[in-house]
Protein backbone atom coordinates (compact mmCIF):
# COMPACT_ATOMS: atom_id res chain seq x y z
CA UNK A 1 0.00 0.00 0.00
CA UNK A 2 1.19 3.46 -0.96
CA UNK A 3 0.17 6.43 1.24
CA UNK A 4 1.06 10.06 0.53
CA UNK A 5 0.83 13.20 2.66
CA UNK A 6 -0.01 16.57 1.13
CA UNK A 7 -0.60 20.07 2.40
CA UNK A 8 0.22 23.74 2.14
CA UNK A 9 3.26 25.34 3.85
CA UNK A 10 3.39 24.75 7.61
CA UNK A 11 0.29 22.53 7.60
CA UNK A 12 2.05 20.01 9.83
CA UNK A 13 2.10 17.18 7.27
CA UNK A 14 5.72 16.17 7.96
CA UNK A 15 4.99 15.81 11.70
CA UNK A 16 1.94 13.68 10.88
CA UNK A 17 4.01 11.56 8.51
CA UNK A 18 6.56 10.89 11.28
CA UNK A 19 3.81 9.93 13.74
CA UNK A 20 2.22 7.60 11.19
CA UNK A 21 5.50 5.88 10.30
CA UNK A 22 6.22 5.33 14.02
CA UNK A 23 2.75 3.86 14.59
CA UNK A 24 2.98 1.59 11.55
CA UNK A 25 6.44 0.30 12.49
CA UNK A 26 5.30 -0.28 16.09
CA UNK A 27 2.44 -2.36 14.63
CA UNK A 28 4.98 -4.53 12.79
CA UNK A 29 4.76 -3.09 9.26
CA UNK A 30 7.83 -2.58 7.13
CA UNK A 31 7.70 0.99 5.88
CA UNK A 32 9.75 2.76 3.22
CA UNK A 33 9.70 6.55 3.55
CA UNK A 34 10.04 8.93 0.62
CA UNK A 35 10.28 12.71 0.46
CA UNK A 36 9.63 14.97 -2.54
CA UNK A 37 11.46 16.66 -3.90
CA UNK A 38 14.29 14.56 -2.47
CA UNK A 39 14.08 10.96 -1.30
CA UNK A 40 17.27 9.76 -3.03
CA UNK A 41 20.82 11.09 -3.39
CA UNK A 42 20.00 12.41 -6.87
CA UNK A 43 16.63 13.73 -5.66
CA UNK A 44 18.28 15.72 -2.87
CA UNK A 45 20.56 17.43 -5.39
CA UNK A 46 17.50 18.31 -7.48
CA UNK A 47 15.77 19.55 -4.29
CA UNK A 48 18.62 21.94 -3.56
CA UNK A 49 18.30 23.47 -7.05
CA UNK A 50 14.49 23.71 -6.74
CA UNK A 51 14.27 25.31 -3.31
CA UNK A 52 17.24 27.70 -3.41
CA UNK A 53 15.80 31.23 -2.90
CA UNK A 54 18.54 32.53 -5.25
CA UNK A 55 16.77 30.78 -8.17
CA UNK A 56 13.94 33.31 -8.46
CA UNK A 57 14.17 33.23 -12.27
CA UNK A 58 13.28 29.52 -12.55
CA UNK A 59 10.64 28.98 -15.25
CA UNK A 60 7.49 27.11 -14.19
CA UNK A 61 8.18 24.41 -16.78
CA UNK A 62 11.70 23.87 -15.42
CA UNK A 63 10.22 23.59 -11.94
CA UNK A 64 7.66 21.04 -13.13
CA UNK A 65 10.21 18.88 -14.93
CA UNK A 66 12.63 18.93 -11.99
CA UNK A 67 9.82 17.83 -9.64
CA UNK A 68 9.15 14.89 -11.95
CA UNK A 69 12.86 14.13 -12.37
CA UNK A 70 13.17 13.77 -8.59
CA UNK A 71 9.96 11.69 -8.49
CA UNK A 72 11.01 9.34 -11.30
CA UNK A 73 14.25 8.62 -9.43
CA UNK A 74 12.34 8.01 -6.16
CA UNK A 75 9.97 5.65 -7.97
CA UNK A 76 12.84 3.63 -9.44
CA UNK A 77 14.98 3.57 -6.30
CA UNK A 78 12.54 3.62 -3.38
CA UNK A 79 8.83 3.30 -4.16
CA UNK A 80 8.56 0.50 -6.73
CA UNK A 81 11.14 -1.82 -5.05
CA UNK A 82 9.36 -1.39 -1.67
CA UNK A 83 5.91 -2.07 -3.14
CA UNK A 84 7.18 -5.16 -4.93
CA UNK A 85 8.61 -6.47 -1.61
CA UNK A 86 5.14 -6.00 -0.13
CA UNK A 87 6.27 -3.16 2.17
CA UNK A 88 4.25 -0.03 2.85
CA UNK A 89 5.38 3.22 1.26
CA UNK A 90 4.73 6.57 2.92
CA UNK A 91 5.64 9.64 0.87
CA UNK A 92 5.97 13.25 2.02
CA UNK A 93 4.27 14.78 -1.07
CA UNK A 94 3.75 13.18 -4.51
CA UNK A 95 2.13 14.25 -7.81
CA UNK A 96 -0.80 15.98 -6.07
CA UNK A 97 1.78 18.60 -4.95
CA UNK A 98 2.66 19.22 -8.58
CA UNK A 99 -1.03 19.48 -9.48
CA UNK A 100 -1.62 22.01 -6.67
CA UNK A 101 1.63 24.04 -6.92
CA UNK A 102 2.61 23.95 -10.60
CA UNK A 103 -0.81 23.06 -12.07
CA UNK A 104 -3.08 25.32 -10.02
CA UNK A 105 -0.87 27.97 -8.36
CA UNK A 106 1.64 28.48 -11.22
CA UNK A 107 -1.15 28.11 -13.77
CA UNK A 108 0.26 25.28 -15.89
CA UNK A 109 -3.04 23.41 -15.57
CA UNK A 110 -3.96 19.93 -14.39
CA UNK A 111 -3.93 18.35 -17.89
CA UNK A 112 -0.31 19.23 -18.52
CA UNK A 113 0.76 17.93 -15.09
CA UNK A 114 -1.18 14.70 -15.61
CA UNK A 115 0.50 14.20 -18.99
CA UNK A 116 3.92 14.74 -17.44
CA UNK A 117 2.99 12.25 -14.71
CA UNK A 118 2.09 9.60 -17.29
CA UNK A 119 5.38 10.17 -19.08
CA UNK A 120 7.52 10.04 -15.92
CA UNK A 121 5.62 7.55 -13.76
CA UNK A 122 3.05 5.71 -15.87
CA UNK A 123 0.12 4.63 -13.70
CA UNK A 124 1.87 4.82 -10.31
CA UNK A 125 -0.49 6.52 -7.82
CA UNK A 126 -0.90 6.50 -4.04
CA UNK A 127 -3.74 4.28 -2.74
CA UNK A 128 -4.52 6.87 -0.08
CA UNK A 129 -3.60 10.56 0.07
CA UNK A 130 -4.00 12.56 3.27
CA UNK A 131 -4.16 16.27 2.66
CA UNK A 132 -3.56 18.15 5.92
CA UNK A 133 -5.61 21.30 5.66
CA UNK A 134 -4.97 24.52 7.57
CA UNK A 135 -5.78 28.17 6.82
CA UNK A 136 -2.92 29.45 4.68
CA UNK A 137 -2.09 32.42 6.95
CA UNK A 138 -1.71 30.10 9.94
CA UNK A 139 0.57 27.69 8.06
CA UNK A 140 2.76 30.48 6.68
CA UNK A 141 3.19 31.96 10.15
CA UNK A 142 4.30 28.54 11.41
CA UNK A 143 6.68 28.07 8.48
CA UNK A 144 8.24 31.54 8.99
CA UNK A 145 8.70 30.84 12.68
CA UNK A 146 10.41 27.53 11.79
CA UNK A 147 12.68 29.24 9.25
CA UNK A 148 13.90 31.92 11.65
CA UNK A 149 17.40 31.11 12.81
CA UNK A 150 17.37 27.82 10.87
CA UNK A 151 20.03 28.04 8.15
CA UNK A 152 18.86 24.83 6.43
CA UNK A 153 15.22 26.00 6.27
CA UNK A 154 16.31 29.42 4.98
CA UNK A 155 18.26 27.80 2.15
CA UNK A 156 15.01 26.03 1.12
CA UNK A 157 12.66 29.01 1.34
CA UNK A 158 11.90 29.71 -2.35
CA UNK A 159 8.28 28.54 -2.08
CA UNK A 160 7.73 29.96 1.43
CA UNK A 161 8.54 33.37 -0.07
CA UNK A 162 5.72 33.25 -2.65
CA UNK A 163 2.88 35.70 -2.05
CA UNK A 164 -0.20 34.86 -0.02
CA UNK A 165 -2.29 34.57 -3.17
CA UNK A 166 -0.01 31.81 -4.49
CA UNK A 167 -0.59 29.73 -1.35
CA UNK A 168 -4.34 30.36 -1.51
CA UNK A 169 -4.30 28.95 -5.05
CA UNK A 170 -2.37 25.89 -3.80
CA UNK A 171 -5.02 25.24 -1.15
CA UNK A 172 -7.83 25.68 -3.68
CA UNK A 173 -5.96 23.27 -5.99
CA UNK A 174 -5.91 20.59 -3.29
CA UNK A 175 -9.65 21.04 -2.73
CA UNK A 176 -10.28 20.58 -6.43
CA UNK A 177 -8.19 17.38 -6.50
CA UNK A 178 -10.05 16.01 -3.44
CA UNK A 179 -13.39 16.76 -5.08
CA UNK A 180 -12.33 14.95 -8.25
CA UNK A 181 -10.99 11.88 -6.41
CA UNK A 182 -12.83 11.71 -3.07
CA UNK A 183 -12.04 8.01 -2.52
CA UNK A 184 -8.27 8.44 -2.71
CA UNK A 185 -7.74 12.00 -1.51
CA UNK A 186 -8.98 12.78 2.00
CA UNK A 187 -8.84 16.27 3.49
CA UNK A 188 -7.77 16.13 7.14
CA UNK A 189 -8.49 19.08 9.44
CA UNK A 190 -5.01 20.22 10.53
CA UNK A 191 -6.15 22.45 13.39
CA UNK A 192 -5.39 21.64 17.02
CA UNK A 193 -2.34 19.90 18.46
CA UNK A 194 -0.45 17.17 16.61
CA UNK A 195 -1.97 14.38 18.73
CA UNK A 196 -5.48 15.52 17.84
CA UNK A 197 -4.63 15.72 14.15
CA UNK A 198 -2.99 12.28 14.31
CA UNK A 199 -6.22 10.76 15.64
CA UNK A 200 -7.92 12.02 12.47
CA UNK A 201 -5.12 10.60 10.33
CA UNK A 202 -5.22 7.18 12.02
CA UNK A 203 -9.01 7.03 11.71
CA UNK A 204 -8.51 7.11 7.92
CA UNK A 205 -5.41 4.90 7.66
CA UNK A 206 -6.48 2.03 9.93
CA UNK A 207 -9.58 1.01 7.94
CA UNK A 208 -7.68 1.43 4.65
CA UNK A 209 -5.01 -0.98 5.91
CA UNK A 210 -7.50 -3.67 6.83
CA UNK A 211 -9.29 -3.19 3.50
CA UNK A 212 -5.95 -3.56 1.73
CA UNK A 213 -5.14 -6.79 3.61
CA UNK A 214 -8.45 -8.47 2.76
P1 LIG B 1 8.46 20.33 1.51
O2 LIG B 1 9.82 19.81 1.75
O3 LIG B 1 7.32 19.43 1.76
O4 LIG B 1 8.34 21.70 2.29
P5 LIG B 1 7.36 22.16 3.45
O6 LIG B 1 7.53 21.18 4.56
O7 LIG B 1 7.88 23.53 3.75
O8 LIG B 1 5.97 22.17 2.89
O9 LIG B 1 8.32 20.81 -0.02
C10 LIG B 1 9.18 21.75 -0.55
C11 LIG B 1 8.45 22.73 -1.41
O12 LIG B 1 8.32 22.23 -2.74
C13 LIG B 1 7.06 23.09 -0.94
O14 LIG B 1 6.99 24.49 -0.89
C15 LIG B 1 6.17 22.60 -2.03
C16 LIG B 1 7.04 22.52 -3.24
N17 LIG B 1 6.65 21.47 -4.21
C18 LIG B 1 6.11 21.84 -5.43
O19 LIG B 1 5.94 23.03 -5.73
N20 LIG B 1 5.77 20.85 -6.32
C21 LIG B 1 5.97 19.52 -6.07
O22 LIG B 1 5.66 18.66 -6.91
C23 LIG B 1 6.55 19.17 -4.79
C24 LIG B 1 6.79 17.73 -4.45
C25 LIG B 1 6.87 20.18 -3.89
Q: Using one digit for the tens of pLDDT, what is the confidence trace for 4-17?
A: 999 999 999 999 99
Q: In what order do the strands lie in the sheet with 31-35?
A: 31-35, 88-92, 2-7, 128-133, 185-189
Q: Kindly state if the Cβ of 98 falls inside 6 Å of ligand 1.
A: yes
pLDDT at 78: 98
Across residues 147-156, what is the average pLDDT? Answer: 82
Measured CA distances, 137 to 18, 57, 186 (Å): 24, 25, 21
CATH code at 120? 3.40.50.300
Ligand 1 atom 23: residue of nearest CA: 97
160 alpha carbon to ligand 1 midpoint, in Å? 9
**What average pLDDT does range 57-61 have in this prediction?**
97
Tell me if 6 CB under 6 Å of ligand 1. Answer: no
Q: What is the pTM of this model?
A: 0.96
Ligand 1 center from residue 153 Cα (angstroms): 12
Number of domains forming the structure of the chain: 1
Where does 52-124 have alpha helices with state H?
60-74, 80-85, 95-98, 110-121
pLDDT in tens, 178-195: 999 999 999 999 999 999
How far out from the chain centre does Cα 33 lie? Answer: 12
Task: Domain of residue 124: give its range.
Answer: 2-213
**pLDDT tier for residue 146 given thresholds of 50, 70 and 90:** confident
Amino acid sequence: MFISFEGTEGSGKSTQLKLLVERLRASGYKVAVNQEPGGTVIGREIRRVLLDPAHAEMASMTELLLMFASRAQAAAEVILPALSRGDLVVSDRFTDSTLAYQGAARGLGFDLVRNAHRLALGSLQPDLTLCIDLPVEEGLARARHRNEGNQMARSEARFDQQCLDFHLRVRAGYREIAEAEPERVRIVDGSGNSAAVFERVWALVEPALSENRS
